[in-house]
Amino acid sequence: MPLARIELARGKSPEHVKAIGQAVYDAMLAIGVPQNDRFQVITEHDPAHLVFDRTYLGIERTDDFILVQITMNEGRTLELKKKLYQGIADGIHASTGVRKQDVMINLVEVKKENWSFGNGEAQYA
């Protein structure tokens, strides 16, 4: 059910980009997302097209900034959301060396009927 959009600056190796996607997927599995439910759009941007505040909330961000936006069904507890955020930041850091301070995560929750996985059907409605 989740759709992950991952935005980062252009110039990283394919292995680096793949590791980021895998870290996001692994963190989603850890909170109960079904196996093989992996849909990701990973977009690399010229630095001028990835705009972010380098010090918002006192967090120092670098050119390695990554924005992860996940659209998923509503209803997960605050504890699971925190586990997801920490799992993504830890996983990206462990697999790529990107600082956790450079990983921003936004969760968008939707109702189950807001998905069609093909055939023009609302599989979860």
**Reported CATH class of domain 3-114:** alpha beta
Confidence of residue 116 (pLDDT cuts 50, 70, 90): very high
DSSP symbols for 49-68: GS---SSGGG----TT-EEE
> Are the beta carbons of 30 and 87 closer than 8 angstroms?
yes
| Spans of all domains in the chain | 3-114
Give tens-digit pLDDT for 23-71. Answer: 999 999 999 999 999 999 999 999 999 999 999 999 999 999 999 999 9
Confidence of residue 95 (pLDDT cuts 50, 70, 90): very high
Confidence of residue 96 (pLDDT cuts 50, 70, 90): very high
In angstroms and rounded to an integer, the radius of gyration of the C-alpha atoms of the chain is 15
Cα distance between residue 111 and residue 125, in whole Å: 9
